[in-house]
Structure 1
Amino acid sequence: MHLVPADRAGRRTIDGHRVCDAIAAIGDTGRLRTWADRFSLLADANRLALLLALHRTGPLAVSDLAVATGMNDPAVSQALRLLRAAGVVAGEKEGRVVRYRVVDPEVGALLGHC
């Protein structure tokens, strides 16, 4: 049981080799936190709807996303602000219009399965 942290090494296990495999599967706690944060972003139905629309259609403006999702413009803007801060989407300004797109490839891969 070489992967068992010292603070847990004295605890009894039934399938020690599987415990090591489970620890390896869990991996780095920082990466685990990153994925938990991603999943929390996807757990909101409105944010998920926005991401699916952007993933499948490409860049869209706030007003177009509002029509597509049935949300109001301020709610779309707030959701995009959270997604942008998390590095999941980015906006590109063309004159007065900002079009958003999914830029996180791992989130994009997840959306491909929805």
Structure 2
Amino acid sequence: MHLVPPDRAHQRAIDEHTVCDAIAGIGDRRHVRAWAERFALLADPGRLSLLLAVHRAGPIAVSDLALATGIRDTSVSQALRLLRASGAVQAIKDGRIVRYSLRDPEIAGLLEALSVGDRTSTSE
């Protein structure tokens, strides 16, 4: 059980090779934490709606996002502030208007998978 950390080496395994495969599948804890944080952003229906809208139509202004999602402008702004701080979206100044677009390509990939899944489930 070469991948088992020393603090768990005393625990008995039923199948040592399976344990090592599972540890390898988990990988780097920092990577797991980063993905958990991404999923936390996606766990809120309002933020997920905003991200899906930005993914599909971005760059897009706050007022247009509010209209598209049915979320109040102030709530959209607050959510975008969090999404910007996390690196999920970026703000692009267009004269007096600020438009938002996706910045995180891994979140874009997840949103694309959601969009594809949605299209296939409605066409069946």
TM-score class normalised by the smaller sequence: over 0.9
1:66-112 deviation digits (Å, cap 9, x = unpaired): 00000000000000000000000001001110000011000000001
CA distance in 1, matches of 2:94, 2:57: 18
The answer as to whether partners of 2:3 and 2:20 remain within 8 angstroms in 1 is yes
CA distance in 2, matches of 1:58, 1:82: 17
Which residue does the alignment assign to 2:29?
29
TM-score by length of 2: 0.90
Q: Which has the higher contact order (CA 8 A, sep 6+)?
A: 1
Alignment of 1:83-102 (within 5 A): 83-102=83-102
* One-letter amino acid of the counterpart of residue 56, structure 1: R
Which residue does the alignment assign to 1:106?
106
Which residue does the alignment assign to 1:70?
70
Which residue does the alignment assign to 1:40?
40
TM-score by length of 1: 0.98
**What is the CA-CA distance between 1:56 and the residue it aligns to?**
1.1
CA distance in 1, matches of 2:83, 2:105: 14
CA distance in 1, matches of 2:67, 2:15: 54
CA distance in 1, matches of 2:82, 2:18: 38
Which residue does the alignment assign to 2:80?
80
**What is the CA-CA distance between 1:58 and the residue it aligns to?**
2.0
Counting aligned pairs with the same residue, the percent is 64
The answer as to whether partners of 2:58 and 2:99 remain within 8 angstroms in 1 is no
CA distance in 1, matches of 2:110, 2:54: 13
* One-letter amino acid of the counterpart of residue 111, structure 1: L
Say what the alpha-carbon RMSD is for the aligned residues. 0.6
**What is the CA-CA distance between 1:49 and the residue it aligns to?**
0.2
1:37-80 deviation digits (Å, cap 9, x = unpaired): 10000000000000001111121000000000000000000000
